[in-house]
Amino acid sequence: MAGRGGGGDQGGDRAAGAAGAVDLEMAVQSHQDKDKGAAGRRSGVPYEEAIALVGHGRFHFGLLLVCGGCITATICELLGVGYLLPAAQCDLEMTDADKGLLGSMAFIGMLFGSHLWGFLADTTGRRSVVLLTLFVDTAIAVLAALVPVYWMFLVLRFLAGFFVTAPQAVGYAYLGEFHSPATRAKAFVWAAVFPAIGLIFLPGVGWWVLPMTWSLELPWMAAHSWRLYVILCAVPSLVTALGMCALPESPKYLLSQGRADDALAVLRRVYSANTGRPPEEFPVDSLAPPTDHTAGHAAGADPKSIAAVMRSVWNQTAPLFTLEHALSTFLALFIMFGIIAGANGLPTWLPELFNRMAMFESTHEGRSASVCASIEGLLGPAANGSDTAAACEAVVETDVFVNNLYVGVAGVIAPVLSVFLVGPLGKRSLLILSLLLTGACGLGLQFVDSSLGFLILACIVCAVTEMCISLFSSIAVDMFPTHLRAMAVSLSLMFGRLGSIVGNLMFGSLLESACPATFYALGGVLLACGAFSFALPRQGKFQH
């Protein structure tokens, strides 16, 4: 028994020794794995290399949805008013002049807001600016649906434009800074799908809501269906704001502000979301300081007065007009002016143009004519003036919704095709070809003598120019250093809003008095933008 007990003790010792050896071997292996992992990690990695190491996956898909939602929200705020003007003219007692001012007011608000939001995005962060403006835009839409008089609605349309300019402009910079140069171009092109979503959303919701004849009696007014339409146009803003709550601040912005540890934490989060691995496995220990030596200077200021804010805005803007950046700034401003003049000017007036062509065909027993001939053919009956009561009975024809749905579908197809073309052609060449194509189609709008032909050319102009906004923004992002990037894009979009105002006023002033000149101007400015695009650099100076 003692022998057996001693044998048992010896067996236990051998087992314990074997287990200890296994534990020691596992510890040594774990230590070797850690050494290998540490050996594979890098320090002082440039940002563009680090962002490429996070991969491309689920995070970037969600990022695209949110940034695309910013673009959709902007489109809905800008172009939604074109569908509600006929329905709201009685409640707001609008004349034709009032309608024209109301249609331009959001663009005027964007003109005033673009510069400020670009400055705030460069000094306080991209994410915070987008969140603030989207939530405020939603609140403004609810207020606009409840105001009883025209001038109050006009003021709120100005404020809507003032705030909604930020999500689109800042959203492009935010989207681009989460991508490496290898994936940035395609991300911007895919973002160009989202204006088309807005172009489909607006006529689809309008077709459903605006024909309704219900009336809700409130203590201060009677609410009709167009007020519901105003609120629904802000739904993309609210949904996008909720999505933005789940996203982090731009790591490139954080790095430019000297917050390298925070930037690295964001990159680790993105890496984990894309790969499914723990954040600690991200093979970068530290980031190299930004090469833009002036980065963070503007944000280092703590403006406490209006004068200080204006001085900071000037300090943030003035470098764009120095000798180093003057050519890039001029090209960014002029080309964006022309692109958005075509992208917003024509779509705003398409319901009216489609309606006039349909009215001409119905009054001339199906006879088709060019858009200018249709307008001239209707001038005789319309020249007698319009009675206020008769104008209040005007409605948006069904054909307007149907045709604009086709325009929206074309807006989806164009950027999808460009995704496959941007690789072999390059961003610059694709932009040049697109602008030349839209310029030619813009000139041709006045010559086609059927509503179908006009619809086809209008689809090309609207869809391709909307795609060009994203495409050119991706080029502009690489033309400026990080600390000027959001300001440069915002400033170019501010000039684009000016183009929207000029385009709308041009249509309103020339359509009846000199109709062909309207389309000569539309096609001419797009062709000029295509010509100036030859001066763009083949590769962005600040791409790396």
At residue 381, the pLDDT reads 53
Range(s) within the chain of domains with CATH label 1.20.1250.20: 44-288, 314-377+394-543
Instruction: Flag the least confident range among 90-104, 155-169, 210-224.
Output: 90-104
The string of DSSP codes covering 295-329 is TTHHHH----SHHHHHHHHHHHHGGGGSTTTHHHH
50-54, 152-156, 295-299, 423-427: which is most confident:
152-156
At residue 44, the pLDDT reads 78
At residue 86, the pLDDT reads 67
Instruction: Tell me if 118 sits within 8 A of 490, measured CB to CB.
Output: yes
The one-letter amino acid at 470: S
Residue 542 has pLDDT above 70, yes or no: no
Instruction: Tell me if 481 sits within 8 A of 207, measured CB to CB.
Output: no
Average pLDDT for 455-464:
92
Residue 281 has pLDDT above 80, yes or no: yes
Average pLDDT for 342-349:
82
Residue 215 has pLDDT above 80, yes or no: no
Q: Which 8-state DSSP code applies to residue 297?
A: H
Confidence of residue 123 (pLDDT cuts 50, 70, 90): confident
Residue 301 has pLDDT above 70, yes or no: no
Average pLDDT for 137-160:
92
Instruction: Flag the least confident range among 125-134, 175-184, 386-395, 507-516.
Output: 386-395
Residue 101 has pLDDT above 70, yes or no: yes
Q: Which has more confidence, 317 or 406?
A: 406
Residue 147 has pLDDT above 70, yes or no: yes
The string of DSSP codes covering 1-36 is -HHHHHHHHHHHHHHHHHHHHHHHHHHHHHHHHHHH
Q: Which fold has domain 44-288?
A: Growth Hormone; Chain: A; (1.20.1250)
Q: Terminus-to-terminus CA distance in the chain, angstroms?
A: 80
Residue 33 has pLDDT above 70, yes or no: no
Residue 24 has pLDDT above 70, yes or no: no
Instruction: Tell me if 383 sits within 8 A of 542, measured CB to CB.
Output: no
Average pLDDT for 277-282:
86
Q: Which has more confidence, 256 or 521?
A: 521
Partners of 284 in beta bridges:
42
CA atoms of 130 and 350, how far apart (whole Å):
30
CA atoms of 351 and 295, how far apart (whole Å):
46
What is the tens place of the pLDDT at every residue in 351-383?
A: 778 877 877 887 777 677 888 888 787 665 544
What is the tens place of the pLDDT at every residue in 395-433?
A: 567 788 888 889 888 888 887 888 888 888 888 899 999
Average pLDDT for 44-60:
85
For the domain covering 314-377+394-543, report its CATH number. Answer: 1.20.1250.20
Average pLDDT for 102-114:
83
At residue 305, the pLDDT reads 56
CA atoms of 34 and 204, how far apart (whole Å):
57
Partners of 211 in beta bridges:
none
At residue 324, the pLDDT reads 77
Instruction: Flag the least confident range among 152-161, 180-189, 247-256, 402-411.
Output: 180-189
At residue 524, the pLDDT reads 93
At residue 239, the pLDDT reads 94
Residue 12 has pLDDT above 70, yes or no: no
Q: Which has more confidence, 138 or 18?
A: 138
Residue 300 has pLDDT above 50, yes or no: no
Give whole-number Cα distances, 370 to 374, 443, 506, in Å.
6, 13, 19
Residue 165, classed as helix, strand or coil, is: helix
Confidence of residue 525 (pLDDT cuts 50, 70, 90): very high
Question: Sign (positive/negative) of CA torsion 63, 169, 526, 424?
Answer: negative
Instruction: Flag the least confident range among 71-80, 349-358, 515-524.
Output: 349-358
Query: How many residues comprise the chain?
Result: 544
Q: Which has more confidence, 453 or 321?
A: 453
Chain centre to alpha carbon of residue 23:
57
What is the tens place of the pLDDT at every residue in 244-259?
A: 999 999 888 888 888 8
Question: Sign (positive/negative) of CA torsion 448, 450, 451, 456?
Answer: negative
Average pLDDT for 307-316:
70
Q: Which has more confidence, 391 or 366?
A: 366
Q: What is the mean pLDDT of the chain?
A: 79
